[in-house]
Amino acid sequence: MATKKFMFVNRKAPYGTVYALESLEVVLISAAFDQDVSLAFIDDGVYQITKGQDTTTIGQKNFSKAYKALGDYDISKLYVEKESLAERGLTQDDLMDLVWEDEDDDWAEKSSIIIVSREEMAAIMAEQEVTLSF
């Protein structure tokens, strides 16, 4: 099967709706098909990967830890939009430390989070062969 560039666009906060969890499930499935997968976090989607999430009092499973597994599935491009963070009073320090191991560089641990401007995000989106929006 030919490899295609897949992008999953995440625009909603977690827990209030099921979109974030459903996106994560599909992302993990797509990894099994050896595709060139990247994720975009824009608008409220940036809240999906904040650190320190605690869902004990809302009766829902905290699925934020699952994002840490993405690196093990060769998903190492998590584009986060700078403007979306800034509009919400957030910086990269508020996000989870998501990493992958580069086998071509003696398994060095590298950050999966790539902060990009809205303009850069638009250009990355334009390169995709398949875009799935959540």
The contact set with another protein (CB under 8 A) reads: 9, 11-12, 19, 42-43, 118, 121-123, 125-131, 133-134
Task: Give whichever of 91 and 133 is closer to another protein, judged by the CB atom.
Answer: 133
To another protein, the closest distance from the beta carbon of 13 in angstroms equals: 13
CB contact at 8 A, 54 and 82 = no
Name the residue nearer to another protein (CB basis): 62 or 131.
131
* Structure token pair of residue 132: 């799935």
Cα 28 to chain centroid, rounded: 11
The least distance separating another protein from the CB of residue 5, rounded to whole angstroms, comes to 10
Report strand pairing: 78-81 vs 113-116: parallel
Nearer to another protein, 11 or 49 (CB): 11
- Report the chain's terminal Cα–Cα distance, integer Å: 25
Q: How far is the CB of 28 from another protein (least distance, A)?
A: 19
CA-to-CA distance for 96 and 4, rounded, in angstroms?
28
Closest distance between another protein and the C-beta of residue 70, in Å?
21
